[in-house]
Chain A
């Protein structure tokens, strides 16, 4: 049994999600190979080779693989797929984009967002916005899986010494082309991997007021998040959204400020170790999951909290 993990990277750096996905692969058991498909991604392949538990790195390098277009990346995965019993992607935007394409071409079902491995063919995954956990068994010859990265502790980034093999890059599909990218700049830790997350909701009132969270996030070394209501109202950028349809986070500490706690939001953060809620509505559902709740006006409580830290 050999497992292929598809690396998440930006051609310069291997993303943390890959290490969590390798950890899930270790739970399944067997040799672990990592596929790095990209353009000028040699450094990424070297980083992958150093990750603990990796037996081999496949590097497919070509200009057409540089922009992570689903059509080309899926074709690249399919070019090597037959040698593997499991193909694992991190359940990130790019993993979710490519994995089903690979599965359908192989005529196998895909298992989304696994949070647990019971055996080599049986996995746990959340359904209904995390309100139920389904245990599913696959009888397909090749299992195509996306891994919820927050559910598996990352393997060490150092310590491995895998060989790097070149894989032949597939030709450009010609179906799609890359036009441009707008990256939201941030000096804060990445939301999905942060140890502390401070999130604001509709209760913040305005984009201006959202800045109130900056000093708190600075003090805690936290990433900033937001509820869908706050994002839709334009208080915070899209990629800050935590929830069923945004990012799934599981930090050590999650501070929800002015967030009522709709089920779609809870789906994105209820596996956090400690949850703190600050809300003036004592009946808000967020208090149902919070370890520590403070019923107070956030405009007084947040500055006070910054002072006290």
Chain B
């Protein structure tokens, strides 16, 4: 069974981004970029399935600028067998990415696609569900446990108020939540090996997909700042302030 794992290159999760002064976007020039944390979990899960023998090949795919190659190399250092880059400098919104991924799925015919539940830059949480809809496949989002056997995937999902388990007919889409696994650290020998693995490049035109953005970003602003707080010396003052100044208790 083949698994496809889409990965996204995003601003590293430790970086506090700044909004550009002309409100055209956030400033990501010279900022550290990394693989989206949820996607790392997806690659890890696919690799574990392969190590268990449930999966024969793991293919990583990324859509975006040339530098996404680095992200794909990281995926291959974790355990992906080969990679596909859909290269474009255009702004990609989730619907466009889902369409590109559908084209890749049509080419590669995987039985399972594992994506991260959301990217930490646009915080959209859409691509996996959209891909499932375009393919007409079942979906299990926010997975914290995944078992694949006998032509079906059994997935435990994190929902409001607890957990629920669903069974999906394969092929299917799974999106990862934080607790699905702990991604391994990539080792130097594996980074070296990843450099030799196959990386194919396509363009959206090759795949026949129109990636024009559907949403226009009019402006990007700083969130309203909170007024500076005070440090209170002891618990008694704190209670007094909450009762008489903030009047919240």
B51 in the interface, Cβ–Cβ < 8 Å?
A: no
Contact stretch, chosen from B76-84, B106-114, B238-246: B238-246
Q: Is the CB of A94 within 8 A of B249?
A: no
Q: Would you call B226 and A175 a contact (CB within 8 A)?
A: no
Interface segment, one of B52-60, B63-71, B122-130, B198-206: B122-130
Known: A127-B123, A135-B221, A176-B169. A97 touches B129 (CB 8 A): yes
B220 pairs with A134, CB closer than 8 A: yes
Closest chain-A Cβ to B188's Cβ sits at a distance in Å of 27
Determine, out of B11-19, B42-50, B189-197, the stretch whose residues face the partner at the interface: B11-19
A154: min CB distance to chain B, Å: 16
- Known interface pairs A126-B223, A182-B163, A184-B162; A308-B236 also in contact (CB < 8 Å): yes
| CB-CB under 8 A for A175 and B168, given A130-B223, A274-B246 | yes
Contact of B126 among A112, A137, A176 (CB under 8 A): A112
Q: Which residue in A110, A178, A292, A293 is a CB contact (below 8 Å) of B164? A: A178
Shortest C-beta distance, B19 to chain A (Å), equals 5
Residues 209-237 of B, flagged 1 when their CB comes within 8 A of A and 0 if not, give: 00001111111111100110111101110
User: CA–CA, A57 to B87, complex, Å?
Assistant: 46
Q: Is the CB of A244 within 8 A of B120?
A: yes
> Would you call B235 and A112 a contact (CB within 8 A)?
no
Q: How far is the CA of A275 from the CA of B238 in the complex (A)?
A: 12
A140 within 8 Å of B by Cβ?
yes
Contact across chains for B129 and A104 when beta carbons are under 8 A apart: yes
Please measure, in the bound complex, the distance between the C-alpha atom of A308 and the C-alpha atom of B234, giving whole angstroms: 11
Cβ contacts under 8 Å, A309 to chain B: 239, 249
Q: Which residues of B contact A108 (CB under 8 A)?
A: 95, 214
Whether the Cβ atoms of A135 and B218 lie closer than 8 Å is yes
Report the bound CA distance from A190 to B160 in whole Å: 10
Q: How far is the CB of B81 from chain A (nearest CB, A)?
A: 28
Against A, the Cβ 8 Å flags (1 = close, 0 = not) of B131-162 are 11110111111101000000000100111111
The answer to whether the Cβ of B7 comes within 8 Å of any Cβ in the partner chain is no
Residue of B122, B130, B161 near A100 (CB, 8 A) is B130
Residues of chain B within 8 A of A2, CB atoms compared: none
Contact with A along B90-101 (1 / 0, CB 8 A): 000111001000
Within the complex, the shortest CB–CB distance from A267 to chain B, in Å, comes to 8
Interface check A26, CB cutoff 8 A: no
Partner of B130, one of A104, A127, A190, A245: A104
Beta-carbon contact of A93 and B138 below 8 Å? no
Given contacts A112-B123, A135-B219, contact A140 B239 (CB under 8 A): no
- Quick one: given A132-B17, A253-B249, are A294 and B168 in contact (CB under 8 Å)? no
Question: Whole-angstrom distance between the alpha carbons of A247 and B169 in the complex?
Answer: 30
- Complexed CA–CA distance, A238 and B145 (Å): 13
In the complex, what residue of chain B is closest to A96 when comparing beta carbons? Answer: B125
Which A residues touch B239, using CB under 8 A?
A: 305, 308-309
Q: What separation, in Å, do the CA atoms of A71 and B133 have in the docked complex?
A: 8
A292 touches B95 (CB 8 A): no
Is the Cβ of B98 less than 8 Å from the Cβ of A104? yes
A304 nearest CB neighbor, chain B only: B235
Q: Are A136 and B232 in contact (CB under 8 A)?
A: no
B184 lies within 8 A of chain A by Cβ: no
* Across-interface contacts of A129 in B (CB, < 8 A): 120, 123
Shortest B95–chain A CB gap in Å is: 5
Cβ contacts under 8 Å, B246 to chain A: 253, 273-274, 291-292
Whose C-beta in chain B lies nearest to the C-beta of A302? B235
Is the pair A182, B126 in contact by a Cβ cutoff of 8 Å? no
Chain A residues contacting B127 (CB-CB under 8 Å) are: 100
Q: Chain A residues near B234 (CB, 8 Å)?
A: 294, 296
A98 to B93, CA, bound (A): 18
Please give the distance in Å from A3's CB to the nearest CB on chain B.
19
- Chain B contacts of A296 at CB under 8 A? 234-235
Q: In whole angstroms, what is the CA distance A103 to B98 when docked?
A: 11
B95 close to A103 (CB less than 8 A): yes
On chain B, the residues within 8 Å of A131 by CB distance are: 16-17, 19, 26, 223
CA distance A177 to B168 in the complex (A): 7
Query: Residue of A at shortest CB range from B134?
Result: A104
The distance in angstroms between the C-alpha atoms of A131 and B26, with both chains bound, is: 9
CA distance A70 to B133 in the complex (A): 10
B104 adjacent to chain A (CB < 8 Å): no
- Interface presence of B248 (CB below 8 A): yes
* Sample of 9 further A-B pairs with CB below 8 A, known A178-B166, A179-B154: A100-B128, A100-B129, A103-B95, A110-B95, A132-B17, A135-B221, A238-B144, A290-B229, A294-B234
Query: Would you mind naming 13 contact pairs between A and B with Cβ atoms under 8 Å apart?
Result: A96-B125, A101-B139, A104-B130, A127-B26, A177-B167, A180-B165, A184-B161, A228-B178, A238-B163, A239-B162, A276-B242, A292-B231, A296-B234
